[in-house]
Structure 1
């Protein structure tokens, strides 16, 4: 008599071995390659709050007025593919009630256009592709993947330098929990501007090269742990002018204690973070663990049937 394994046992054994081989590949090969900054990004985030600003029409300080910050991020797909980096064009405008909706960005209280280039996997800055400005740090429009409970260097474009944001626990936004990072920006000189002397307390001088100063009452970012996406942001910008060599602020250009993502922006950011996080969890945790467990079960069953459940067939001779 010759003993042969049943087709079922071989199928179970083969499938189990395949799943056992696939599980570590998902963790070591597929998951790291899924953690890449997108190149076809197209998002708009909106902050709202109240504050004071210098009204250039009345030449007076407008106090406790609604303010809106709108940031649009568009990926330059062609340059991203060509360079292998994430090339993002970022438009940021600060508007008052009078300049909304902004038919022309030049009507805004403030408008900037930047180009940020990062390594798609590490999120570190890459200095190429007509980057503007040259920036530094670890966190910008997003944090790196797999956010840690530590202090990060966050790039503040207005300051033109990095700010230390420390891990400050967790916080729920629209019911979704993220890591909370906080920090402040002490007053710092960021540039100069030619203005009438009377605006900075020097009425006897026609035009002076006033000093631009910037501070931030408080920065709070709530970040999705897996993707590094910012699901909520709160900032408190303060921009002022000082007389040349002055020790005190002479004119407030912009001052707000709290500008925060609108509820609509929070919902959109949470929805995207949740969807992306679920995909990463699937390839990095659910499939490897489930596949490994299924592989062990199937391979074990198949091996058992091969050893113990073969069919006896007559020898041919």
Structure 2
């Protein structure tokens, strides 16, 4: 993969354009029940905090590139964002990760609904700041577990405009230059259909900075996805739970949903806590 690594050397900002490097994004998810309890919505809604740290392997060591922190409230049954309890996202960086701003989430964020259908679902994208359609593609077995595969295609376009140092573009002159933040992605998710849980995820990210008179600079370019170990663990954790929910469906659907929520609570933090390891595109 390719990435932009901003750091300091002898008190001066340096921007290294990394190429053919391994990237890793590690997500941690923590439930915060006090937020929904304070609103009296704990029976049908939940609030989860998710943090993601992205790192590059430089000289044999994992080096921090970026950090994000996001809080999302959602319906326990459908997985759809509700914004009931003060949703927020990080507006800081590794030096100041505590800076937060309000956000109005839409669509699904952590998971699909119980009893997933072969249709399109609206899925949140943080770089776009909105939800777009994720289309059903096919069924696929992963180590014997049947999954529904969905794909979200985001055509590359400008998502922001900001002032950035000229040095990012290799200019030795001081000062800043207006630049467009360009972003595109092909996100593919493998979903266990009874629970709506993500078994495997992959993103083909194309993010860059563009400024007049300079060559385009990739900030993140390549394919990143769940590691083989994470996928294997997810299959082990959710094969029996998904089958159980499928067995008690139909006339017992309300019971199935209730049990499903309990199973999600027991297992999803472990599922999402696994790192996602990037690999260079062939």
Bucket of the pairwise TM-score, normalised by the shorter protein: 0.7 to 0.9
Q: C-alpha deviations, 1:94-138, integer Å up to 9, x for none?
A: 111149987xxxx6211100001001122221112221132112x
State the distance in 2 between where 1:89 and 1:101 align.
28
Maintained 8 Å contact 2:47/2:73: yes
For structure 2, the residue ranges without an aligned partner over 5 or more in a row are: 8-13, 89-102, 254-282
| Paired residues for 1:98-137 under 5 Å | 98=58, 108-132=64-88, 133-137=103-107
State the distance in 2 between where 1:174 and 1:263 align.
11
Residue 197 of structure 1 pairs with residue 197 of structure 2: no
1:94/1:219 CA distance change after superposition, 3 Å: same
Alignment equivalent of 2:235, drawn from 253, 266, 270: 270
Match in the other structure for 1:215: 184
1:264/1:247 CA distance change after superposition, 3 Å: farther
SS in 1 for 2:20: strand
SS in 1 for 2:118: coil
Match in the other structure for 2:20: 64
State the distance in 1 between where 2:120 and 2:215 align.
31
Question: Alpha-carbon deviation of 1:90?
Answer: 0.4
Residue 55 of structure 1 pairs with residue 5 of structure 2: yes
State the distance in 2 between where 1:175 and 1:122 align.
26
* Larger relative helix fraction: 1
State the distance in 2 between where 1:225 and 1:74 align.
23
Match in the other structure for 1:294: none
Match in the other structure for 2:52: 92
SS in 2 for 1:59: strand
Maintained 8 Å contact 2:191/2:199: yes
State the distance in 2 between where 1:186 and 1:118 align.
27
Q: Size of the alignment, in residue pairs?
A: 229
Q: C-alpha deviations, 1:170-208, integer Å up to 9, x for none?
A: 112222110011232111222233322253477667212
Q: C-alpha deviations, 1:282-312, integer Å up to 9, x for none?
A: 4325989xxxxxxxxxxxxxxxxxxxxxxxx
SS in 1 for 2:249: helix
State the distance in 2 between where 1:164 and 1:285 align.
28
Match in the other structure for 2:147: 178
SS in 1 for 2:187: strand
Match in the other structure for 1:231: 199
Tell me the TM-score normalised to structure 2 length. Answer: 0.72
Tell me the TM-score normalised to structure 1 length. Answer: 0.65
Question: Alpha-carbon deviation of 1:270?
Answer: 1.9
| Aligned alpha-carbon RMSD (Å) | 2.7
* Larger relative strand fraction: 2
State the distance in 1 between where 2:188 and 2:60 align.
26
For structure 1, the residue ranges without an aligned partner over 5 or more in a row are: 1-50, 289-317
* Higher RCO, 1 vs 2 (CA within 8 Å, ≥6 residues apart): 1
